[in-house]
Amino acid sequence: MTDKVKERVAGVFNEVAAAIESGQFGQKKKIGLTLLDSEHGIDELKKAARLAENNYNDLEVELIGCEGDKCSCLADAHSIMDQKLEENEIDAAVTLHYNFPLGVSTVGRVVTPGQGKKMLIATTTGTTDTNRVPSMLKNTIYGIAAAKSLGIEKPTVGILNVEGARLVEKNLRKLKENGYEFEFAASVRADGGSVMRGNDLLLGVPDIMVTDTLTGNMLMKVFSAFNTGGQYEAVGYGYGPGVGEDYDKLIGIISRASGAPVIANAIKFMAEVSKGNLLEITEIEMKAANNAGLKNIISEIKNSSSTAETEAVKEPTKKITDEEIAGIDILEIDAAKETLWKKDIYAETGMGCTGPVILIAEEDEAEARAELKKAGFVE
């Protein structure tokens, strides 16, 4: 055994010894909770913290704002919280009205009224992507990461029947064929399929319900407050942890209307994903999805929606290109090609060993050169 391994073994012994003394096995997760801006007041938040600590012995709550740390507004509380997360003083945090960077959105967790089943909704707040279908594709991966960090080894994925659902389904199948492993859920409706309807939503058929973020946000409200009239969110686990590629903090979101039971669950939710290494799992899942071509699929989707407008120049009849014209600036090479296309001269672009070139048929070379000169691409 090397010294390094010995050190680690000794560390485990110390942990065990501490556990025997305290009667508390496993390290407690420290979860920060900001105390501002709830519609139900500070006391509701404090009540939630007590509730969480009493119900679950694997976590402790650190209150942020108003008492120990003097701060008067939520923004201050957020910066204190961010700092504590960065310095590993706390493992995760629960807060509200937090601005995630573009690319990060939250995976919420509800208790479905149909069968009291827990179901993840991916995603519920934040912006995954500016484009709808790519956004839902990434939401799927975020949802899978969250589910796996909660210990669901083979989570099932359903796609809520919102605009773009079929495209999302088609591209998820592509990912799956390319080797990204996950399971589709099957709708309870007679026609089946992995696109989910109202019944599936109420029953909680899939482990992860994939949707656009706005719809997801609305679903959270309905699931947690349908029985209270909306002012008080009484059931469920809140809007969940922010997940994103390269995002390195565990921050869980509740709303201004979340009641103490929901907040306590949100605290527990964050302790669980912290223990389940959500950040590492997200990295692994994104990598696996990218290896299966997620990035290419997304750029294809984005291109197909933009080429429709730009593809104005018609491609001339293809020819064998056996000559090349060099000396055109790399940033203008495509424009140079289009200039030739407009004159009905067939050309391709290429990157040879001496830099960018226009590839051209021998018989067109002189004419092409003249055109490029006229347009100022070559001297």
Partner 1 sequence: MDFPVIKGSGYVLVHTPNILKEAGSTQTTTRAKNPDDEYLKKLDDYLRTFEEMVAYAPNQAYIGNILPDELKDIETPWYKEENFIEGGRFGIFGEIMPEDEFYALLKHVDVFDLVKLSQEFIKEIEPKVAEHPILKEMEIELGAGEDVSELKDLLKNHAEPLYLDKKLVGCVKRAHESDVNLNAHTILENLVAKASAVLSVKNLAAKNNIDLNDVDYVLECSEEACGDINQRGGGNFAKAIAEMAGCENANGSDVRSFCAAPSHAVVNAAALVQSGIYDNVVVAAGGSVAKLGMNGKDHIKKEMPVLEDTLGGFAILISKNDGVSPVIRTDIIGRHKVGTGSSPQAVISSLVTDPLDENDLNIKDIDKYSVEMQNPEVTKPAGAGDVPESNYKMIAALGVKRGDLERKELMNFVKEHGMPGFAPTQGHIPSGVPFVGPASVMMKNGQIEKAMIIGKGSLFLGRMTNQFDGISFVMEKNSGAKKEENSVSDKEIKNMIAGAMRQMADNLLGETE
75 binds partner 1 (CB under 8 A): no
Applying the rule CB under 8 A, the residues between 320 and 349 that interact with partner 1 are: 321-322, 324, 326-331, 333-334, 348-349
Among 4, 70, 314, 318, binds partner 1 (CB under 8 A): 4
CB 314 within 8 A of CB 299: no
CA–CA distance, 195 with 187 (Å, rounded to integer): 7
Question: In terms of CB distance, is 191 or 311 closer to partner 1?
Answer: 311
In the complex, least distance from residue 327 CB atom to partner 1, rounded to whole angstroms: 4
CB 219 within 8 A of CB 110: yes
Among 49, 81, 150, 359, binds partner 1 (CB under 8 A): 359
Stretch that binds partner 1, among 2-10, 36-44, 176-184, 302-310 (CB under 8 A): 2-10
Helices 132-149 and 165-177, axial angle in degrees (round to 10): 60
In the complex, least distance from residue 17 CB atom to partner 1, rounded to whole angstroms: 11
In the complex, least distance from residue 171 CB atom to partner 1, rounded to whole angstroms: 19
Question: In terms of CB distance, is 308 or 353 closer to partner 1?
Answer: 353
5 binds partner 1 (CB under 8 A): yes
190 binds partner 1 (CB under 8 A): no
CB 59 within 8 A of CB 28: yes
**Amino acid sitting at position 72:** S
178 binds partner 1 (CB under 8 A): no
Among 8, 154, 173, 374, binds partner 1 (CB under 8 A): 8
CA–CA distance, 360 with 325 (Å, rounded to integer): 8
284 binds partner 1 (CB under 8 A): no
**Helix (H) or strand (E) segment spanning residue 62:** strand 59-64
**Helix (H) or strand (E) segment spanning residue 352:** strand 347-352
SS (HEC) of 77-117: HHHHHHHHHHCCCCCEEEEECCCCCCCCEEEEEEECCCCCC
Q: Is 189 exposed, middle or buried (0-12, 13-18, 19+ CB in 10 A)?
A: middle
355 binds partner 1 (CB under 8 A): yes
In the complex, least distance from residue 269 CB atom to partner 1, rounded to whole angstroms: 23
Alpha helices (H) along the chain: 3-22, 42-55, 74-86, 132-149, 165-177, 198-203, 213-225, 260-275, 278-291, 294-310, 333-342, 365-374
By DSSP bridging, strand 105-111 and strand 240-243 are antiparallel
Phi/psi of residue 277, nearest 5 degrees: 55, 50
In the complex, least distance from residue 349 CB atom to partner 1, rounded to whole angstroms: 5
In the complex, least distance from residue 346 CB atom to partner 1, rounded to whole angstroms: 13
Among 130, 295, 344, 363, binds partner 1 (CB under 8 A): 295
Query: Would you call 66 a catalytic residue per the annotation?
Result: no
Among 101, 198, 352, 376, binds partner 1 (CB under 8 A): 352
CB 106 within 8 A of CB 125: yes
In the complex, least distance from residue 24 CB atom to partner 1, rounded to whole angstroms: 16
CA–CA distance, 107 with 242 (Å, rounded to integer): 7
Among 127, 156, 215, 290, binds partner 1 (CB under 8 A): 290
313 binds partner 1 (CB under 8 A): no
Binding site for partner 1 (CB under 8 A): 2, 4-5, 8-9, 12-13, 16, 287, 290, 295, 321-322, 324, 326-331, 333-334, 348-357, 359, 378-379
Catalytic positions are: 353
